[in-house]
A and B are shown apart, each in its own frame.
Chain A
Amino acid sequence: MQTLVFWVLFLTFVGAFAAQLATRVRLIVNAPGQFAVVDLGGHVRRFVVDVLLQVRTIRERPVVGMAHALVFWGFVAFAGYTSVEFLRGLGIIDLTGTRWFFAYRVVLVPFATAVLGGILFLLIRRAIFRPKALGATLSIESIVIACFIAALMITFLLAFNLDEETLASRVNWWAHMLVILAFMALIPASKHLHLVLSPVTVFLKSLELGRVPNLDFEKEEVGLETVKDLPKKTVLDAFTCVECGRCQVNCPAFGAGKELNPKALILRAQEALLAGTPDAKLGAVLGEKELWQCTTCGACENQCPVGIEHVPMIIGSRRGLVSNGEAPEYLAGMFNNLERRKNIWGLGYDQRQKFVAAAALETFDPAKHDVLVWLGCAGAFEADFQKSLRSLFDILRAKHVRFGVLSKEQCNGDPAKRTGNEYMFQELAQANIEELKAAGPKKILTSCPHCVKTIGEDYRRFGYEVEVVHSSVFIAELLRDDAPTARSDDAVTFHDPCYLGRYAGKVHEPRELLAKFGANVREPERHGDNPYCCGAGGGLLFADKEEEPGSRISDVRFKQLTATGANTVVTACPFCSIMLKGAQTSAPANDVQFVDLMTFVRDRQRVS
Chain B
Amino acid sequence: MILVVAEQRGGKLNRATWESIAAAQQLGDALTVAVVGSGISAVAAEVASADVQDVVTIDSAALEPYTPDGFTAALQQAIDQLKPSVVILPHTYQTRDFAPKLAARLDRALVTDVVAIKPGPAFVRPMFQGKLTADVVPQGPAPHFVTTQIGSFRADSARKGSSPATVKALTINVDAASIRQKPEAPFQEARQAVDLSQAERIVSVGRGIKEQDKLPLAKQLADALHAELAASRPICDAGWLPMERQVGSSGQTVAPKLYLALGISGAIQHLVGMKGSQTIAAINKDPDAPIFEIADYGIVGDLFEIVPAMIEALKQ
Residue B163 interfacial (CB < 8 Å): no
- Does B193 belong to the interface (CB within 8 Å)? no
Q: Which of B231-266 contact A (CB under 8 A)?
A: 232-234, 237-238, 249-251, 253, 266
Is there contact, CB below 8 Å, between B275 and A582? no
CB of A383 within 8 A of CB of B290, answer yes
Interface centre among B129, B266, B269 (most CB of A within 10 A): B269
Q: Are B267 and A346 in contact (CB under 8 A)?
A: no
Question: Which residues of chain B have C-beta atoms less than 8 A from A346's C-beta?
Answer: 272, 275
Known: A347-B275, A545-B251. A585 touches B233 (CB 8 A): yes
A581: B residues at CB distance < 8 A: 267
B290–A384 contact, CB under 8 A? yes
Interface centre among B249, B253, B266, B268 (most CB of A within 10 A): B268
Main secondary structure of the interface of B (DSSP, over half): loop
- Tell me, yes or no, whether B207 is within 8 Å of chain A by CB: yes
- A345-B268, A542-B249 known; A383 and B234 CB under 8 Å? no
The reply to whether B251 and A340 contact each other, CB–CB distance below 8 Å, is: no
User: Most chain-B CB neighbours within 10 Å: which of A339, A345, A585?
Assistant: A585
The tally of residues in B whose CB lies under 8 Å from a CB in A reads 22
CB pair A340 B129 closer than 8 Å: yes
Find chain A residues with CB under 8 A from B250 CB.
Answer: 542, 544-545, 547
Q: CB-CB contacts of A362-405 with B at 8 A, as 1s and 0s?
A: 00000000000000000001111000000000000000000000
Nearest residue, chain A, Cβ from B239:
A549
A595 at the binding interface (Cβ < 8 Å):
no
Give the residues in chain A near B251, CB-CB below 8 Å. Answer: 545
A contact residues around B183 at 8 Å (CB): none
The reply to whether B269 and A383 contact each other, CB–CB distance below 8 Å, is no
- The reply to whether A383 and B266 contact each other, CB–CB distance below 8 Å, is yes
The yes or no answer to B156 lying at the interface (CB within 8 A) is no
Q: Are B249 and A585 in contact (CB under 8 A)?
A: no
- From residue B176, how far is it (CB to closest CB) to chain A in Å? 39
Q: Given A544-B250, A545-B251, A383–B272 Cβ distance below 8 Å?
A: no
Q: Which of A382, A541, A582 contacts B233 (CB 8 A)?
A: A582
Specify which chain A residues have a CB less than 8 angstroms from the CB of B207 in the assembled complex: 585
- Which residue from chain A places its CB closest to the CB of B238 in the assembled complex? A586
CB-defined contacts of B119 to chain A, threshold 8 Å: none
What residue of chain B has the Cβ atom nearest to residue A346's Cβ?
B272
29 A-B pairs within 8 Å (CB atoms) are namely: A330-B249, A340-B131, A345-B268, A345-B272, A345-B275, A346-B275, A347-B272, A382-B290, A383-B266, A383-B290, A383-B293, A541-B249, A542-B249, A542-B250, A544-B249, A544-B250, A544-B269, A545-B249, A545-B250, A545-B251, A578-B268, A578-B269, A581-B267, A582-B233, A582-B267, A582-B269, A585-B234, A586-B234, A586-B237
Residues of A within 8 A of B (CB): 330, 333, 339-340, 345-347, 381-384, 541-542, 544-545, 547, 549, 578, 581-582, 585-586
Chain B residues at the A interface, C-beta cutoff of 8 Å: 129-131, 207, 232-234, 237-238, 249-251, 253, 266-269, 271-272, 275, 290, 293
